Amino acid sequence: MSNVQNDARKIFEGLRIIDFSWVGVGPMAAQTFALFGAEVIRVESSKSLDIFRIGGPLAPGDGPDRSAYWANINRDKKAMTLDLKHPNASEVVKRLVSDADIVTESFRPGVMRSAGFDYDSLSQENPELIMISMSMEGQGGPHAGFKGFGLTLQATAGITGLTGWPDRAPVGTGVAYTDWFSTHLAVTSLIAALEHRDLTGEGQYIDLSQLEAMIWGLDDAVLRFTAGEQVMSADGNRDPNACPHGVFKCLGDDEWIAISIFSDSQWLSFRKFLGDPDWAMKSDYLTFEGRKENEDDLDRLITNWTIEKDPEKLAEEMQELGVPAYKVADAKALYDDPQLDFRDHFWEIEHKVIGPMTWDSPAYKLSGTPAYPKEPAPLLGEHTKFICTELLGYSEEEFTELLISGVLD
Amino acid sequence: MISKKGPLQNYRIIDLTDRYGVLGTRILAGLGAEVIRIEPPGGDPMRKFGPPLENEGNSFFWFQMNAAKKSVVLDLKNTTGCDSLWALLKSADVLVESGFKSSLETKGFDWVNLSASCPQLIYTTITPFGAEGPRSHWSGGDLVAMAAGGLMYLCGDQDRAPLRVSVEQASAQSSVQAVVGTLIALRARKKGASGQRVDVSMQEAITNTLGNSQATYAMTGVISKRAGGGRASAEGGARLVWPCADGYVAFSRSPRAIPLIHQWMLDEGLNPKFSPQPISGLTGAGSAPSPELNPTEAKLVQEIDQEIEEFFKRFSKMELYEEGQRRGTMMCPVSTIPNLFENKQLIDREFFIDVEHSEKASSYTYPGAPFRMSKSIWKSGPSAPSIGQHNEEILGSL
């Protein structure tokens, strides 16, 4: 057994993942394993490209390797092209899977089965195989084939309805939010399956419905409804346990500061910071209940004060007094953020087509075996030959035959 | 055969999380880990967090987040309690703590001491900004982390302040990302590493949810902006939320969807005025940012939107969901919580599950397994423990 002390890349060393997944959740889940040393083989079709390969932002030029969105979530993988619908595909897939530990896929339910690549078929000669399907709403059921993506699925799951102002239509998060949540539950289930395999020697199949996974991110909303007939709804930026608790306009174009006061002593610190102005001295404001009753007034008064201030400077000064506050960070502010910089969040890795670029890194920092940057995302089919001849055991001649047959498109 | 114990059955986890991290230990408990919540005498403050479940003495939040866990009461204000915790930690695999200030550090349970006395221990912490760094001493909860991590800037209407989600997503994200970090540390230990610290930042957990916003800025210098009920993007995004008879639906008015809606209107006996022909500059909400529409195209889109909006108002969200999907559009209901219980998919898959509350001989409905493993169980219960329910079992065996 290799000793992983001090090298994150040894944690999943020897683990092979065949990554048939596409778009967001599957590729991100597989990348998590790749960052910690798993050998992840991303299998793609050049005819039916992963939509993230054509989604922006795109580097100038032509071709399927320009998307920084795609490249951000497929790092440290090897990539091959394979036409799963080709009659010769099953022989290649069989070889891919025979030595694999994990197979990932995120097609519409039924696609893998109709191609002959469902778990029962794939695990026949490899009973230790773990396979996960990550679909919108799960493999079975009347909506199994329903279409969507993270932006619309967040609506089905309840997130959109819980994001908005009480006097307006709900808005949702503005990103394909369910992707960014269910990915981590997919990884969790896969590591759990590895643990199960350690205990029993057997593999298994995981059916992850991104809808069902997302419902775990709704706090206690379900139980409040089922056990208390209480219906949670969108409430702007307010919080039942804090006041003031909101986002206030600052000096500059679309500049804002978030402030949350959870205790009476934080209120006093805040008031002191304001310089104990007349408008803040009402005795009602000394208690949470009193502030909550006057929340509209307080929000207006605080805005009158923040609107001439710089949010970054304001947050720095307030935090020194223990008042929770932060500038509402846009993309630029995140790159300039001293704390994210300290944590080395944005990794710099040069991509063969995109060039020098920064990429996201895990929010969990392991003190002994921290993740570190290594390879950029592969080009489409970059390792097709290497995978076929070095990993799958095809001879040069056999590889040429595969190329001619069109199965490797 | 499906084990009744769960895949993490051999791990003992000491749970000192607050609201910001408690979902994580709930998930680990669901997978069969022995999760022991340490409560002060009189009970964890979380038992009173949020509205109470009537007659049960504790909050909905407490019950939701602590099912399948054990409870041990320790008074960490005195040395006996601290000694017991040390003994527990020596027997444990993981300690998870969340919140702005560590309640443990001041009592000598800092990482230097923990790693010396418990070299096997994985110590996972969830803090607003991380354990170290220039702003690690800054405070904040969900709202501040949503702002600092960048997701808030992408949420909300353009003419109002950026928004958070009213169910806490910095907490949810930190929790699930902490689970992954903890499990990776456990895998590292299996391969010969010692215990280690897993340092999770709520800010950074949110920074990992921003879609292509960072890459867009890095590549083009353009800052993505919030776009109401649409996709945040450099150009203002595309519309997604539409009113209907009983609320709202999420619908991507993509070039592919326009002829489908056109046909649907015809089938309803209506006479749509718009053309099903593609509009060159128009893209869907999920695809690449659309180039600026020229004024003629923009007017066309506006007219189409008006007709679609009127059309949708004839139907309920569930009708639009079922029929819109049948016709091949990406139509989804903007679900309220009650709508989740009308969703035919969740009903058919029996997602929600009843958990018995033994003391009151009643049961309540909870979310079921977040994923379905063919050979491993998910523990939905037993319901959250009473204060110190497992004192004897756990402390007696130390």
Q: In this predicted structure, what is the pLDDT of residue B236? A: 53
Q: What pLDDT does residue B108 have?
A: 92
Query: C-alpha distances in angstroms, A99 versus A134, A156, A358, B368, B373?
Result: 22, 38, 33, 33, 21
Same domain, B88 and B152: yes
Domains and CATH numbers, chain A: 8-217+344-405 (3.40.50.10540), 245-336 (3.30.1540.10)
State the Cα–Cα distance between residues B391 and B398, nearest whole angstrom.
Answer: 11
pLDDT (tens digit, 9 = 90+) per residue, B99-125? 977 778 889 999 999 999 999 999 999
Q: Which H or E element spans position A103?
A: strand A102-105
Between B254 and A86, residue with greater pLDDT: A86
Q: What is the pLDDT of residue B287?
A: 46
Whether residue B220 is contained in a domain is answered as no
Q: What is the pLDDT of residue B235?
A: 60
* Residue A197 binned pLDDT confidence (cut-offs 50, 70, 90): very high
Mean pLDDT of B294-302: 83
Are B325 and B340 within one domain? yes
The Cα A95–Cα B183 span in angstroms is 30
> Is B361 an interface residue toward A (CB < 8 Å)?
no
What integer is the mean pLDDT of A126-145?
97
- Check if the interface score ipTM surpasses 0.85: yes
Is the per-residue pLDDT at A366 higher than 90? yes
B333 neighbourhood in chain A, CB within 8 Å: 155-156
For the ranges B22-26, B256-260, B390-394, the lowest mean pLDDT is seen at: B256-260
Cβ–Cβ < 8 Å for B172, B23: yes
Domain shared by B338 and B357, yes or no:
no
Is the residue at B375 inside a domain?
A: yes
| SS3 (DSSP) at A286 | helix
Helix ranges restricted to H, A17-161: 25-35, 51-54, 68-72, 89-98, 111-114, 119-122, 150-157
Question: Is B228 a member of any domain?
Answer: no
Banded model confidence at residue B79, pLDDT cuts 50, 70, 90: very high
- Identity of the amino acid at A354: I
Indicate if B252 and B378 belong to the same structural domain: no
Q: How far apart are CA B183 and CA A190, in angstroms?
A: 10
**Residues sharing a CB contact under 8 Å with residue B154, sequence separation 6 or more, in sequence order:** A173, A174, A175, B162, B210, B211, B213, B224, B225, B226, B232
> How many domains is chain B partitioned into structurally?
2
In the set A179, A220, A254, A336, the catalytic residue is A179
Retrieve residue B344's tokens: 């035919």
C-alpha–C-alpha distance, residues B161 and A327, integer Å: 12
CATH number of the domain enclosing B375: 3.40.50.10540
Residues B245 and B311 placed together within one structural domain of the fold:
yes
pLDDT value at residue A149: 92
Using the Cβ of B16 and the Cβ atoms of chain A, whether some distance falls under 8 Å is answered with: no
Question: How many CB atoms are located within 10 Å of the residue B11 CB?
Answer: 21
Cβ proximity of A237 and B161 under 8 Å: yes
Tally A–B CB contacts below 8 A: 568
Q: Is the same domain home to B337 and B358?
A: no
Does B215 fall in a domain?
no
pLDDT recorded at residue B28: 98
Cα–Cα distance between A173 and A234 in angstroms, integer?
12
Q: Which residue among A188, A226, A319 sits closest to B138, beta carbon to beta carbon?
A: A319
Distances (CA, A) of B143 to A237, A241, B147, B181, B188: 8, 12, 6, 23, 33
Mean pLDDT of all residues in B391-398: 94
Please indicate, yes or no, whether residues B23 and B170 belong to a single structural domain of this protein: yes
Domain assignment of residue B6, yes or no: no
In a domain, residue B123? The reply is: yes
A310 part of the active site: no
- Contact with chain A for residue B166, Cβ under 8 A: yes
Residues of chain A contacting residue B23, judged by C-beta atoms under 8 Å apart: 216-217
Distances (CA, A) of A354 to A48, A52, A379, A402, B228: 22, 15, 10, 30, 31
Residue B287 lies in a domain: yes
Q: Is the pLDDT at B46 greater than 70, yes or no? A: yes
What is residue B291's predicted lDDT score, i.e. its pLDDT? 54
The minimal CB distance from B181 to the residues A177, A333, A362 is found for A362
Contact B8 A192 (CB under 8 A): yes
Residues B41 and B60 in one domain: yes
Bond prior to A244 in cis (omega within 30° of 0)? yes
* Inter-chain touch A332–B223, beta carbons under 8 Å: yes
Domain boundary among B344, B360, B378: B344
A237, A270, A296, best to mutate vs chain B, most B CBs in 10 Å = A237
Residue B289 confidence (pLDDT): 44
CA distance B18 to B141: 11
User: Does the pLDDT of residue A46 top 80, yes or no?
Assistant: yes
- Verify that B190 and B284 share a domain, yes or no: no
Structure confidence by residue, pLDDT tens digits, A96-132: 999 999 999 999 999 999 999 999 999 999 999 999 9
Co-location of B60 and B111 in the same domain: yes
First to last CA, chain A: 38
- β partners of residue A206: A132, B373
N- to C-terminal Cα distance for chain B?
A: 32
pLDDT band at B254 (very low <50, low <70, confident <90, very high): confident
* Within a domain: B3: no
Which residue in the set B60, B209, B213 is minimally distant from A220, CB to CB? Answer: B60
- Residue of B148, B229, B331 with shortest CB distance to A329: B148
The bridge status of strand A39-44 relative to strand B94-98 is: unpaired
- Do residues B67 and B177 share a domain? yes
Q: What is the DSSP letter of A391?
A: I
Give the pLDDT confidence score for residue B284 in this predicted structure: 59
A215 and chain B in contact, CB less than 8 A:
yes
A320, pLDDT greater than 60: yes
**Structural domain of residue B25, as residue ranges?**
12-208+351-395
Q: Cβ of B207 and A233 within 8 Å?
A: no
pLDDT > 60? residue A243: yes
pTM for the model stands at 0.97
B284, B255 contact by CB (below 8 A): yes
Of B344, B363, B383, the residue at which a domain comes to its end is: B344
Q: Do B64 and A143 touch (CB under 8 A)?
A: no
Average pLDDT, chain B: 93
Same-domain status, B250 and B106: no
State the average pLDDT for chain A: 96
Q: How far apart are CA B289 and CA B233, in angstroms?
A: 7
